[in-house]
Amino acid sequence: MELSKRRRIPRRFGAILGVLGLASSCEHREPPTWDAGTGSLSAQPLPPAPPSQDSSFDGPGDATDAPTVDPGTLPQTRDRPRSSGPAYEARVHALWDAIVADDPELAMPAFFPVGAYKQVKAIPSPESDWKRRLVAAFARDIHHLHERLGGHASDATFVELEVASERARWVEPGEESNRVAYWRVYGSKIRYRAGDNAAAFDVSSLISWRGEWYVVHLSGFK
């Protein structure tokens, strides 16, 4: 980069480019869709989570060219997942929108990435298991939850995904046919309002990838 022609961009600013890129991408755009033939997202995935330590920067810069990275292609970390932040909120709202619209494809950003699943599972054909068992069950659950909304599907209001973070457990390699560890939590809830009434859906299991929560079992364990 020629400093005489372009502004100096401090090195620390590169760490938050993904955050700024996400903030702009979440405004008035269609969520990525899932290609049922390949089990992959047909649009670019959500960018990685923002850094948990120091997200400050020294000066202005241009984040419009910030790359997006499929988190499933990156190695696991031991970072404890947070129930906050722009990436988390984008996934949670994609899940709710899918339930309201009765469209499982909208919820795929909230589902555990296939690339990460291939790294985690020490089983034959993990990608096939992800698509044929986990995603198929997830799609059925989305349809079932939409049916439970009934006449409130058009006017139900999302409140929060309540994650039971205090019960989260680090699952070591060797457990549950895993070769890579992750955080897991049972018993979360999607809370919403239907008219004047508060209501909730259970979320059976969330697991982590690189410090972010993803759904792996929405209702029950199939």
pLDDT in tens, 169-219: 999 999 989 999 999 999 999 999 998 899 999 999 999 999 999 999 998
Flag whether 64 is in a domain.
Answer: no
Closest CA to 190 of 213, 170, 168: 213
Q: Where are the beta strands (DSSP E) in the chain?
A: 34-35, 40-41, 157-162, 169-171, 182-194, 197-209, 212-217
Number of structural domains found in the chain: 1
Structural domain including 86 reads 12-48+80-217
Flag whether 171 is in a domain.
Answer: yes
Cβ(212)–Cβ(199) under 8 Å?
no
DSSP assigned state of 134: I
Flag whether 213 is in a domain.
Answer: yes
Flag whether 103 is in a domain.
Answer: yes
> What tens digit of pLDDT does each residue of 139-170 get?
999 999 999 999 899 899 999 999 999 999 99
Q: Report the alpha-carbon distance of residue 23 to residue 18 in Å, rounded.
A: 9
Flag whether 62 is in a domain.
Answer: no
Cβ(69)–Cβ(48) under 8 Å?
yes
Flag whether 167 is in a domain.
Answer: yes
